[in-house]
A and B are shown apart, each in its own frame.
Chain A
Amino acid sequence: DAGVIQSPRHEVTEMGQEVTLRCKPISGHDYLFWYRQTMMRGLELLIYFNNNVPIDDSGMPEDRFSAKMPNASFSTLKIQPSEPRDSAVYFCASTRDILFLTFGAGSRLTVL
């Protein structure tokens, strides 16, 4: 298995632009998590899905953030409009039976 695949690895954009981060979970994993990592706040859970359904989005910072999972093999995290304080590394992780999380390599976002 190729593991959890995230794209892009790096994204540099200007304030106000729309950003879309993508994630392909491991086949057969029925849970998908989006985390954000910053120096100040560490790893924060943004949202997670079970069987493509959002279960808990209480960690999503504000309405500018949205996440979707249209099918079992694909999820997106969208920020519109982006702001400099959104600069962070965004991780996608998946699991089956909540044994442990398998993380993707992360997407480093820089908003200028």
Chain B
Amino acid sequence: AQTVTQSQPEMSVQEAETVTLSCTYDTSESDYYLFWYKQPPSRQMILVIRQEAYKQQNATENRFSVNFQKAAKSFSLKISDSQLGDAAMYFCAYQRGNFNKFYFGSGTKLNVKP
């Protein structure tokens, strides 16, 4: 069974600093996709970044980047130059290629201190 684990229930970062959120997953598949979603207090789920497992290059979206370690089944999210608006719950998600279910981790609450 596919599982996604986020071991950090809550984290804090100083504004303008860098923070890394951890995610590990369990799968025997070689073709899959990984995602980070952000859920601010408005509770809208927003896609932050997406990574295809077959790509070795780590995905990057502006201040957001991932460290994808396929052998270790690790998919961490790095937020650089943290901003107050980054404060939210962050969910890691897994989707097996050609299979329609998305599996979500339990989330990490990120606090950003001014």
- Give residues in A with beta carbon < 8 Å to B: 31, 33, 42-43, 45, 48, 50, 55-56, 89, 91, 93, 98-103, 105-106, 108
A101 touches B44 (CB 8 A): no
Per-position contact with A for B39-53: 1 when CB-CB < 8 Å, else 0?
A: 000111111001000
B residues bordering A, Cβ < 8 Å?
33, 35, 37, 42-47, 50, 91, 95, 98, 100-107
Contacts of B98 in A (CB 8 A): 98
* Pairwise interchain contact B35-A100, C-beta atoms closer than 8 A: yes
B45 neighbours in A (Cβ, 8 Å):
91, 93, 101, 103, 106
Contact assessment for B43 and A98 in the assembled complex, using a CB-CB cutoff below 8 Å: no
Q: Interface SS of chain A: helix, strand, loop or mixed?
A: strand
Known: A31-B100, A100-B35. A105 touches B44 (CB 8 A): yes
Residues from chain A with a CB closer than 8 A to the CB of B47 are 100-102
Q: Knowing that A42-B106, A98-B95 are A-B contacts, what are 7 other residue pairs whose CB atoms are under 8 Å apart, sorted by A's residue number?
A: A42-B104, A45-B101, A93-B45, A98-B98, A100-B33, A100-B35, A108-B43
CA distance A100 to B95 in the complex (A): 9
Max count, chain B CB within 10 A of own CB: residue among A91, A93, A98, A99: A98
C-alpha gap A48/B35 in the complex (Å): 19
Could you jot down 10 A-B contacts, CB within 8 Å?
A42-B107, A45-B103, A50-B100, A55-B100, A91-B45, A98-B98, A98-B100, A100-B33, A103-B45, A106-B44
| Contact in complex: A43, B91 (CB < 8 Å) | yes
Q: How far is the CA of A91 from the CA of B107 in the complex (A)?
A: 16
Complex interface: chain B residues within 8 A of A55 (CB)? 100
Instruction: Note all chain B residues with C-beta closer than 8 A to A43.
Output: 91, 104
CB distance from A29 to the nearest CB of B (A): 12
